[in-house]
Each structure stands twice: as structure tokens, then as C-alpha cells.
Structure 1
Amino acid sequence: MRIGLYLPSLEGGGIERLYLGLARQWIERGHLVELALNERRGELLGDVPHGVRIVDLGVRRQAASVPALIRYLRGSRPNVVMAGHDHNNIMLCAAGFARTGRTRIVASQHNTLSANDTRGAKFGPVPLLYRALFGQADAIVAVSSGVADDLAVSCHLPRERIDVIHNGIVPDDLAARMVAPVDPALYPTGVPTIVAMGRMVEQKDFATLLTAFARVRQLRPARLVILGDGPLRPALEAQAQDLGITGDVAMPGFVDTPFAHLARASLFVLSSRHEGFGNVVAEALACGTPVVSTDCKHGPAEILEGSRYGILVPVADPAAMASAIGDALDRSWDREELRQRGASFSEAAGAARYLELFRRIAQRGVSEQTRKEVA
């Protein structure tokens, strides 16, 4: 099977890492995999698995990608192509009107659509365009049941048209990645260290985490390591200064060994206002690391099965988060149970579920009936 994955670029991000892991699994199973990129750039270019073909569409503006996608679909003739961002879904489905042969199109939704600023120019048209164009999709995939429900309501799509496939993001070589070297100064012996990870943007709400950590720090020794970078870094550094916790907070920036940090953490905290899935929650569990997470829409509660595998707290509530962090640090966790839960989100399991979907839709075309279901 020839599988195409359509992305803007390979700049670091959860979707990009997910797709590289899926590509690795499919290559190992004997399939041909192509990465169709608007631009061949990004820090993850060096992580592309051997054997994966990169197709540079050569477009700088998303709106200009449709002609390039049509040329790709007609020239390469993949059996299936899957997009992984809102605007990529739209462009791929638009290009689907001009496809030839038996290429199947899969649109995948990774975020809570209703959480986007639908009043803005960037996301405002998305629900309408989804509704107009998703008739060209042979399958629609959401990464969590909550995202699927939200997508159906936001775009007036039949819920039964949407498949749910949880992200498979735990790699086969997890054990080796967990022992990769990290800066030992980040994890001093005898001091519990809390790790958070993500782009420094409002969605991740590290401001609430810093306020909660300041409360924790008043009661016990602890350290906080926030991995990642982004436009809010200066504001977060200033907040840590104002809270008087600068000496106990580290922000080392983007790291290419996240599992090594998660394995050394006493606790992982997700402070997000919303998530489509929450990859790093599953990654932390796979390392046997306890988790405190906001009960944000929509992924974390599904991963943690409520409070079975972690502690959920309200969004933007520093007092509740501080209390939960203290409880988590004091609790005796069954680390092996956490690892087993995390292992259920393996790359191999996710790749197998997608292949099952691809084979199913390969048995049929884009019929008029399918289009009427969405139109």
C-alpha cells in the first residue's frame, strides 16, 4: 500500500511526531510511505524514518496548495492520503474533486474545533468548509471521542461518519529513550521534580501551573521543569520572578529527548485549557510517571479513564492544582499499572488501527450516497 501523509512542514509538533511514528511502523510492515509537505523545512526533518519519501509541494501559502496537491495525487497515485491539520484537511478535500484512480482521502481531526477562535479570519470558515468539503473524504478520524462529538456538533456532521482512533505515540524503543542523558542539574537528588511540557502559548496555561507551584513551594521543597518554548516565555519568566520561585523553576526550551525527562520526573502536570488528545499524558504514563491534569476538553479524561490512572482538576484553578500536586507527590502509585496503561497508546497499536481503516475504505469509493450523508 502507498500511503501519503500531508502536512504543512516538519516543524516540531504533536501531529508531526505522531505521523513520523506511524510512518516508521508502516515502513516496517512493508508499505510505501510519502510525506507530502507544503515546505520541506522543520527541526523534525532529521527524524524522518529511512525509506520514507519526502515530496516537497513547494508552496508558501496554504491557499496555493490545492494545485500542488492535485499534481501530487495524479502523479504519485497513493492508495490513501491523510491530512493532519484543519487547513490541510480542507485543502486535501478540495483537491479530492480532481483526483483520479483509486486514491482514498482521510481527514483527521486532532483538536477541539469549538475551542478555536471561530470569530477570527483563520478559523472562522473552518466549520463551514468542513461541511462543504468533507463529502470528498472517504473517512473522517478524530483522536478522541470528545473531539469526535465536538466535530459532529460544530460542523453538523453525522456522528456515525467519524471514526475514533487514539493517538499511538509510544515508540517501540521507549526503554532506550528513557535512559538518554539529560542535564543532571534539572533533577537534583532528593528533591521532587515536576515536569510540564508544551508550546508556551495560552492554550497550555503554564501561568496557572506557575501559580499552583508557588503554593506547593510554600509547603515543601520541589522543582518545576517546563520543557518547550514559545511566545509567552518572557511573560512566564517574569511571572516566576514575581512569585519568587525563579530558583526552583527551569525552562530549558525545546528538547529532543522528552521521554528521558518524563522518566526522571516525580510527577507530570498538564495545565492545558483544551486538548484534542494530550499526547504527553500518555507518554508520561508509559514512563510510569504519575499525572495531574486539567479536566479539559477532550483527551486527558479518556486517557486517564477519569481518575483511575491520574488526578483530574478543573481548568484554570491554581488552588485545586496545587492541592492535587501535593496529593500526587504523597501518594504511593502502582508504576507498573501506569506503564501498562501508557503502553496501550503505542505507535504499533495506532498504526495497526489506521491500516485497518485504510483497508476498509479501500473496498469502496466515494459514492454519491457518502457525499449526501455529509452534504
Structure 2
Amino acid sequence: MLFLFEGLYGRGAERVSLGLISRLDRARFEPSIWILRAEDALRGEVPPDVPVTVVLRGDERIRHALLRVPATLLRQARAADVVVGTVELMPTYFAGLAALLTGTPAVGWVRNSLDHTFAEQPSWHRWLSRQVYARLSRLVFVSQGVRQTLGRLQHLRAERTRVVYNPVDLRRVRDWGQEAPPAWARALFVRPTVLAAGRLSRQKGFDVLIRAHARLVAQGVEHDLLIVGEGAGHAELLALARDLGVEGSVHLPGYVANPYPLMRRAAVFALSSRWEGFANVVVEALACGVPVVATDCPSGPAEILAGGRHGLLVPPDDPEALAGALGRVLADPALAARLRAGGPDRAQAFAPEVTVPQWEQVLRQTAASGA
């Protein structure tokens, strides 16, 4: 099995892919990794028994290695039973190219709502993706919503599609959650704390969350808001907190390598996203036993929370509704206790023991079916 990456970036998509690779049954699967760019943020998470090929060196671009890139890809694809593009667009295009030129069947792993992805990319991606995705042996989607979104944009053959939820490393979440929180955070949890985590971008809707927080503060609900993550929106979010008069209770510490001790101590975990693909962080929050309030955005949160049975769902881009749901959990100990108690059991539905065998079935069927 050959898994194609653009780079080992420190993102959830690459981390989940490496987690799957590490858990494949070695009696049946021999995974290998092909990486276009030398970006090694997650190199330490590559299983030691998996061979890795990195094609571009340093600051090289594809145009500097027009022969080397396809030569290494096709050589390894011919030796594989299945090629997997681990992320949409570039890795999946390479998987499609390998399948076309070698006859090795290919799988595309679709993780995001591609309507939003296409909106942020040059227009030629829409055309090229239609040529590639329709010809892949299998498309694996991380949620039903992601499959439905692509189905509205392109014609998909249902028998070639499959939804497999992301395998979330619940053991690591639990073990890391036992560690002490950072020294700077210990004073925070004197008051109830609403926690959020993610890249500081428009997608994550942290501006909506800060507005919801300000509404609760104006209503006299004492609490802090802690948003962990880094990104281009940091200064803008701080400015918004100042404008709303809540800069003293909004905390933006940046990247936190281990957020799980913070999750365990939070009164509520808030997902304020405008869109997602799956939202691993919601599963992680459930595993930590923290009540979850999430936007019912496309896609993922409603599926994870089973339509609201395991957490509260609110419309995206609605500070008033988000404030109301957060306020309910903060004010109702019985509701908070029920959500805390049920979270870890719900998280088990996304454990590797459940989802990795589903991936193994996809790989076996794809190898048996041919290109």
C-alpha cells in the first residue's frame, strides 16, 4: 500500500493518516510512504517499519524535478497493490496519475467540504478534480456530509464511495490528559472556562465565539474564554475582544502541544466553525468528558453528536444561539453532568479499533477489484 502525502505538515489530516498507517495489520499490509515536499513536522510519528521517500529537497519546486517526481511515483506505484491520496487535491491528483499510468487502483481520501476548498483555490481545480475523482477506484469520505457535498458538485458512482470516520487516538487523548496543565493556565480554571481549539482562521468562527462570550458576560455569566491555536487571525481576534470590552476574559495563548489537560478542566468545549470536514477535536473533547456545544455546520459535528444527543448543536454564524447554548450548560449542573458522563462512551464510536478495520476492508476490496 502506497500512501501519498504532499508533506508531513503538523495538521490533523496528516496525523490521522499516519495513525492509520501505524495500525494497519502488518500480517496483511505493507505500507510505504511517498512525500512530495520535505516538510517534517510529523516525521517523529512515522512508524519505524515504514519506508519513506521524499522527492523534493529543501526549497525545490516541482518544476525543478520534472523527471524525478513522476519517476519515483510511478516506480513505487507499480510495486504497490493500492495507491492512497491521503488528502484531497494534490495528493489525490498524484494518486489518479499513478493509477492511469500504472494500472494500480487508487483511493482518494476526502476530508473537507470541497465547496469551501474550491472557493479558496484557482478555478482549474474544479475541472481537474472532476477528471480525476470520477476515475478513482474508491473515494473514502470522513463524514456523510462531506460525501453529500462532493455529490452535489460532481457525479459520483455510489458503489465507489464509502464513509469511514477518522480514527481518533483516544488512548493518547486520555493519557496526555492526565498531565498537568501549563503553568500559565492553572489560574484560569478558578472560574468556569469555555475552551476552543483550532487554527485561528475564518473557518473556525472564533469571532462568533468571542461575540457569544461577550453576550454572556453582559448577562452577568462569569466565565473565561480560552482559545488555543495559532494563525493569521490572532491580532484580529484580540482587537475584537478589546472592542467588545472582554479582553480581560478572552485568552489566546497560541499553539499548545498538549491541549487535553485543558479540555479535562474546561466547563464547556465550544466548536464555533463555519464549516468542517469531520472535526476530530469534538471527538477528543467527548473523550475528555467535557460537555460540547458545537455549530451544526457542514460537516461532521451533527454526525459526531448524533443530532444533538451527545452535545448541544446551534446554527453557524449565530452568536446569540451560541451564547444561549453555552449559557445553558454553564447554568445547568444536571445537563453538564449528563453530557460529561456520556461523552467518553460516544467517543468510542470513533476509536481506531472501530474505524481501522473499515479502512482495511476498503484497501482489500480495492486491491481485489483492480484499477
After TM superposition, the score normalised by the length of structure 1 is: 0.89
Counterpart residue number, 2:19:
21
Give the secondary-structure state (helix, strand or coil) at the position aligned to 2:14.
helix
Give the secondary-structure state (helix, strand or coil) at the position aligned to 1:107.
strand
Give the secondary-structure state (helix, strand or coil) at the position aligned to 2:336.
coil
Report the AA paired with residue 361 of structure 2: E
Q: Indicate yes or no: 2:271 matched with 1:273.
A: no
Q: Indicate yes or no: 2:306 matched with 1:305.
A: yes
**Structure 1 residue 5, shift from structure 2 partner:** 2.0
Deviation digits for residues 35-64 of structure 1, max 9, x if unmatched?
Answer: 321112242222323323321021754687
Give the secondary-structure state (helix, strand or coil) at the position aligned to 1:231.
coil
Say whether the 8 Å CA contact 1:172–1:348 is kept in structure 2.
no
Q: In the comparison of the two structures, how many residue pairs are matched?
A: 360
Give the secondary-structure state (helix, strand or coil) at the position aligned to 1:36.
strand
Deviation digits for residues 83-115 of structure 1, max 9, x if unmatched?
Answer: 113222123212321125xx3311011111122
Report the AA paired with residue 19 of structure 2: G
1:1-375 equivalent positions in 2, closer than 5 A: 3-26=1-24, 31-58=29-56, 60-61=60-61, 68-75=69-76, 77-83=79-85, 84-99=87-102, 103-118=104-119, 122-187=121-186, 188-218=188-218, 219-329=220-330, 330=332, 331-334=335-338, 335-366=340-371
State the superposition RMSD in angstroms. Answer: 2.3
**Structure 1 residue 181, shift from structure 2 partner:** 2.8
CA distance in 1, matches of 2:89, 2:203: 17
Report the AA paired with residue 36 of structure 1: W
1:28–1:340 Cα change, 3 Å? farther
CA distance in 2, matches of 1:6, 1:31: 16
**Structure 1 residue 332, shift from structure 2 partner:** 3.2
Deviation digits for residues 264-283 of structure 1, max 9, x if unmatched?
Answer: 22211111111111111111
Report the AA paired with residue 24 of structure 2: W
Say whether the 8 Å CA contact 1:142–1:162 is kept in structure 2.
yes
**Structure 1 residue 66, shift from structure 2 partner:** 9.0
Say whether the 8 Å CA contact 2:141–2:164 is kept in structure 1.
yes
Report the AA paired with residue 313 of structure 2: L
CA distance in 1, matches of 2:309, 2:133: 36
Counterpart residue number, 1:370:
none
Give the secondary-structure state (helix, strand or coil) at the position aligned to 1:226.
strand
CA distance in 2, matches of 1:35, 1:9: 11
CA distance in 2, matches of 1:72, 1:264: 46
Report the AA paired with residue 217 of structure 1: V
**Structure 1 residue 305, shift from structure 2 partner:** 0.9
Report the AA paired with residue 82 of structure 2: V
1:47–1:326 Cα change, 3 Å? same
1:66–1:142 Cα change, 3 Å? farther
CA distance in 2, matches of 1:284, 1:7: 27
Say whether the 8 Å CA contact 1:167–1:279 is kept in structure 2.
yes
Give the secondary-structure state (helix, strand or coil) at the position aligned to 1:344.
helix
Say whether the 8 Å CA contact 2:82–2:366 is kept in structure 1.
no
1:43–1:95 Cα change, 3 Å? same
1:34–1:250 Cα change, 3 Å? farther
**Structure 1 residue 197, shift from structure 2 partner:** 0.9
1:278–1:69 Cα change, 3 Å? farther
Give the secondary-structure state (helix, strand or coil) at the position aligned to 2:4.
strand
Say whether the 8 Å CA contact 1:6–1:88 is kept in structure 2.
yes
Moved more, 90-99 or 322-331: 90-99
Deviation digits for residues 110-159 of structure 1, max 9, x if unmatched?
Answer: 111122344x6x24233322221235422111111111111112012233
1:207–1:275 Cα change, 3 Å? same
Say whether the 8 Å CA contact 1:22–1:350 is kept in structure 2.
no
Runs of at least 5 residues in structure 2 that lack an aligned partner in the other structure: none
After TM superposition, the score normalised by the length of structure 2 is: 0.90
Deviation digits for residues 292-313 of structure 1, max 9, x if unmatched?
Answer: 1111011111111111011111
Deviation digits for residues 324-355 of structure 1, max 9, x if unmatched?
Answer: 10112223333232101112111232221110
Say whether the 8 Å CA contact 2:110–2:146 is kept in structure 1.
yes
Report the AA paired with residue 315 of structure 1: P
Report the AA paired with residue 175 of structure 1: R
**Share of identical aligned residues, percent?**
32
CA distance in 2, matches of 1:154, 1:182: 44
Report the AA paired with residue 90 of structure 1: Y
